[in-house]
Amino acid sequence: MLVVAYDNRSDVEIDESILEEIEDAMKRTLLHQEIGVECEISFSFVNAEEIKELNANYRGKNVVTDVLSFPMHEDFLYDRMMILKDNPHLPLLLGDVVICIQQAMTQAEEYENTLTRELCYLSVHSVLHLLGYDHMEENEKSAMRSIEKEIMGDD
């Protein structure tokens, strides 16, 4: 159902058990969204300097962020059926996820989460972006947060 190509460009070693939890969270997201075809995601862990540079280059924001998502399909949420039906190549390439491990560690401490839980949340959040969700408007933010809570099992 999911092929993940991991690339760790940070100086923090990521335990295999954490990668398994992240992958499980991404699979739950795809199941929740009823994506029933095999999908592929490129997943990178980077340091603060690299994500700051990416954020500046792609979003015009010269600050460190926790996660960036680069969807392969701009209108996946609206053109889902056409993309799934007309895709002759499987796995379906969804896009790229880039997580700043240092920022995830800081947020885990701030929110009193484990690093694993924080990385899983960021992965769910990012996969939803790959599937076309956004949070620019308040109604979008509310809908996306509700879906994230369902997938993460939060009350």
Quick: pLDDT tens for 53-101: 999 999 999 999 999 999 988 777 667 666 666 666 678 889 999 999 9
- The predicted-structure confidence for 115-145, as pLDDT tens digits, reads as follows 999 999 999 999 999 999 998 889 889 999 9
Report yes or no: 46 and 96 within 8 Å, Cβ to Cβ: no
Whether residue 89 is annotated as binding a ligand: the answer is no
The whole-number pLDDT of residue 155 equals 59
What does the longest C-alpha to C-alpha distance in the chain come to?
44
Whether residue 32 is annotated as binding a ligand: the answer is no
Which stretch of DSSP H or E encloses residue 44?
strand 39-46
**122: nearest Cα among 95, 142, 152, 93:** 152
Q: How buried is residue 132: exposed, middle or buried, by Cβ count under 10 Å (0-12/13-18/19+)? A: middle
Whether residue 135 is annotated as binding a ligand: the answer is yes
- Quick one: CATH architecture of 2-152? 3-Layer(aba) Sandwich (3.40)
| Angle formed by the axes of helices 48-59 and 101-110, nearest 10° | 100
Spatial separation of the C-alpha atoms in residues 105 and 103, rounded to whole Å = 5
Q: Report the 10 Å Cβ neighbour count for 77.
A: 15
- The predicted-structure confidence for 17-60, as pLDDT tens digits, reads as follows 999 999 999 999 999 998 888 899 999 999 999 999 999 999 99
Spatial separation of the C-alpha atoms in residues 140 and 152, rounded to whole Å = 18
AA letter at 149: K
Q: Measured between alpha carbons, how far is residue 147 from residues 33, 56, 140 in Å?
A: 9, 28, 11
Phi/psi for 112 (5° steps) reads 60, 45
Spatial separation of the C-alpha atoms in residues 104 and 145, rounded to whole Å = 18
The whole-number pLDDT of residue 80 equals 67
